[in-house]
Chains A and B, each alone.
Chain A
């Protein structure tokens, strides 16, 4: 991600061609002075209304007692935030339980989603017949939506009729595991399905990163007598550092925003133990109409994620020194 800024900055140094010599009436050689703004306008309208305004508007809503069904939305300052932190408020238990669920899912899924795809990418990182086929097969689940994979895995993990217990029974293992209705199985299911669904995506990103590592570096390491592990440790990993940071950051964000898997596969069960933050926010705001409180949750959660991302960048930068 650091590359985003670097690429941008490097290009800023070479200014785009000027509009040409000015003419009378604000016109230039190739068009009117307003031309750039006309090009930008359609996107900026969308971006302003649904990308930029909601950031400020969300904070504004969070400072009110904002019931979507009532005409009066009195300003209440930080009351919505205080509720989230005071153990005698009605929302306290549900909110922190959802934080726990999302936190647990993120801690369990991110290491797998960083390591497993790297293994897949290394397997595919040389040319052999059928390579494109395997890459496509690993990536295929990712093109399906969460609704499809949610329904599919709810079925596959069905304790009685599902293929997973069916296969376990066929090889003589216990065939009655409650994959979607009890812990810890529900967590195994949510994490496992997510790894199955999205690891092809990270693998493709790693693969592109691996191909950017110059072959000469591997040659040089080989000349120095480095074995496979040493080459991985001293050539591959350092070469992948920016890609690893990108994968780690985006994967943490994606896992922290988990919704569809628990909504469809475990349906929050057992009890509400697998009900995640995003689910809690939309239910609070859009099902129970308390937009003020839901907006406060969103702001607080976005801040938590920002802290995690910053720590993430710091750690990587520190290790670079």
Chain B
């Protein structure tokens, strides 16, 4: 009876897994087909023959410099992550450990914007970015998004969970706030910092709406914004389009496999604590 139930459970789970994973496998398989092979009706599962046609098309492509977009995205997401980690951890330290005039007000304002849909600020943010001369530059996809309240809120909660006794020893040794922050608190917060880093990188790497409207020059696009162009240029030449999609998926899927625990923890925390 129990082994039967166990069997049914696994059958159900495997079926659901197939629903989630098959489209991703199909993307990879199609990217390895020739144009003719991908046009077959009904579709064939395995590429016949295996071909690098799709990848050849996007590697040697001056109109749609996909590798350039890949590099732009990598640079933008890395710089964005660094900016979030530095600014959010410093602000979170002040809000969690220091006492100053305006602390409650700043925290209330920051938390308040957590409830605001980010799309509602797109028009004014575009005008602000334009006045700063940032439209169609790398800066515009790195900096404005770092104003997100999530990182500060997330790290503040984590810092509050660290017992203060650990810092008091440093205080007795005459350490100032900068030393406590860098030498005591940050080393203790590595798991939280890693979680925030992974989530920030994913968010920026995957961002679509903003780059589509603030980047214009083909050589300056990020990969997601460029994929839209690729779709327009290749319409039903699916091996090429899927090769582009695979390129955009590989870094985040690798990151997911390596940092699964951090991503899942970050998401569950966001649910339980805001």
- Could you tell me which A residues sit within 8 Å of B by CB distance? 1, 3-5, 7-8, 11-12, 15-19, 29-31, 35-37, 39-40, 42-44, 46-47, 49-55, 57-58, 61, 68, 120, 123, 128, 130, 132, 134-141, 143-148, 151-156, 158, 160-163, 166, 169-170, 175, 196, 200-201, 204-209, 212, 243, 246-247, 253, 256-257, 259-260, 263-264, 278, 281-282, 285-287, 291, 294-295, 298-299, 301-302, 305, 309
Of B47-55, B57-65, B187-195, B264-272, the segment with at least 4 beta carbons within 8 Å of chain A is: B264-272
CA distance A123 to B225 in the complex (A): 37
A14 nearest CB neighbor, chain B only:
B160
CA distance A145 to B97 in the complex (A): 36
* B164 CB to nearest A CB, Å: 7
Question: A36-B94, A147-B228, A148-B248 are known contacts; what are 8 more A-B pairs with Cβ within 8 Å?
Answer: A3-B273, A49-B128, A140-B20, A152-B26, A204-B267, A278-B119, A286-B126, A298-B119
In the complex, the answer to whether A54 meets B91 with C-beta atoms within 8 Å is: no
In the complex, the answer to whether A58 meets B256 with C-beta atoms within 8 Å is: no
User: Is B274 interfacial (CB-CB < 8 Å)?
Assistant: yes
B43 nearest CB neighbor, chain A only:
A166
Given contacts A148-B227, A156-B26, contact A256 B17 (CB under 8 A): no
CA distance A227 to B144 in the complex (A): 52
In the complex, the answer to whether B147 meets A46 with C-beta atoms within 8 Å is: yes
A199 nearest CB neighbor, chain B only:
B20
Given contacts A18-B99, A156-B26, contact A8 B111 (CB under 8 A): yes
In the complex, the answer to whether A54 meets B124 with C-beta atoms within 8 Å is: yes
In the complex, the answer to whether B252 meets A281 with C-beta atoms within 8 Å is: no
Residue in A50, A68, A205 whose Cβ sees the most chain B Cβ within 10 Å: A50
In the complex, the answer to whether A46 meets B87 with C-beta atoms within 8 Å is: yes
Q: How many residue pairs between the two chains, A and B, have CB atoms under 8 Å in the bound complex?
A: 311
6 contacts between A and B (CB under 8 A): A4-B153, A18-B99, A29-B171, A36-B103, A47-B113, A145-B208
User: Is B68 interfacial (CB-CB < 8 Å)?
Assistant: no
Given contacts A144-B249, A144-B252, A278-B209, contact A309 B263 (CB under 8 A): no
Please indicate the chain B residues that have their CB under 8 angstroms from the CB of A68 in the complex: 127, 130
User: Is B207 interfacial (CB-CB < 8 Å)?
Assistant: yes
Given contacts A35-B177, A37-B100, A51-B149, contact A138 B17 (CB under 8 A): yes
CA distance A275 to B267 in the complex (A): 30
Please indicate the chain B residues that have their CB under 8 angstroms from the CB of A162 in the complex: 43
CA distance A128 to B7 in the complex (A): 12
Interface size on B, residues (CB 8 A): 115
In the complex, the answer to whether B123 meets A209 with C-beta atoms within 8 Å is: no
CA distance A156 to B264 in the complex (A): 28
Decide if the interface of chain A is mainly helix, strand, loop or mixed.
helix
CA distance A31 to B126 in the complex (A): 39
Please indicate the chain B residues that have their CB under 8 angstroms from the CB of A156 in the complex: 23, 26
B179 nearest CB neighbor, chain A only:
A30
* A173 CB to nearest B CB, Å: 13
CA distance A154 to B269 in the complex (A): 33
CA distance A123 to B20 in the complex (A): 15
CA distance A180 to B75 in the complex (A): 34
Residue in A54, A146, A204, A264 whose Cβ sees the most chain B Cβ within 10 Å: A54
Please indicate the chain B residues that have their CB under 8 angstroms from the CB of A247 in the complex: 271
In the complex, the answer to whether A50 meets B144 with C-beta atoms within 8 Å is: yes
Given contacts A39-B177, A47-B147, A144-B249, contact A61 B227 (CB under 8 A): no
- Choose among A152, A160, A291, A302 the residue that contacts B116 (Cβ–Cβ < 8 A): A302
In the complex, the answer to whether A205 meets B127 with C-beta atoms within 8 Å is: no
User: Is B253 interfacial (CB-CB < 8 Å)?
Assistant: yes
In the complex, the answer to whether A196 meets B19 with C-beta atoms within 8 Å is: yes
* A156 CB to nearest B CB, Å: 6
CA distance A163 to B114 in the complex (A): 39
- Choose among A46, A175, A259 the residue that contacts B143 (Cβ–Cβ < 8 A): A46
B177 nearest CB neighbor, chain A only:
A31
* B143 CB to nearest A CB, Å: 7
A35 nearest CB neighbor, chain B only:
B177
In the complex, the answer to whether B43 meets A163 with C-beta atoms within 8 Å is: yes
Please indicate the chain A residues that have their CB under 8 angstroms from the CB of B6 in the complex: 128
In the complex, the answer to whether B208 meets A146 with C-beta atoms within 8 Å is: yes
Please indicate the chain B residues that have their CB under 8 angstroms from the CB of A30 in the complex: 171, 175-177, 180
A299 nearest CB neighbor, chain B only:
B120
In the complex, the answer to whether B177 meets A52 with C-beta atoms within 8 Å is: no
CA distance A134 to B130 in the complex (A): 45
Please indicate the chain B residues that have their CB under 8 angstroms from the CB of A49 in the complex: 128, 144, 147
Residue in B113, B157, B242, B264 whose Cβ sees the most chain A Cβ within 10 Å: B264
User: Is B90 interfacial (CB-CB < 8 Å)?
Assistant: yes
* B165 CB to nearest A CB, Å: 11
Given contacts A16-B97, A134-B17, A147-B224, contact A42 B24 (CB under 8 A): no
Closest 7 CB pairs of A and B: A145-B206, A205-B271, A208-B268, A147-B224, A4-B274, A43-B91, A54-B124
Given contacts A51-B113, A138-B20, A294-B123, contact A35 B88 (CB under 8 A): no
In the complex, the answer to whether B88 meets A55 with C-beta atoms within 8 Å is: no
In the complex, the answer to whether A148 meets B224 with C-beta atoms within 8 Å is: yes
Residue in A11, A136, A144, A259 whose Cβ sees the most chain B Cβ within 10 Å: A144
- Choose among B13, B118, B127, B273 the residue that contacts A291 (Cβ–Cβ < 8 A): B127
User: Is B141 interfacial (CB-CB < 8 Å)?
Assistant: no
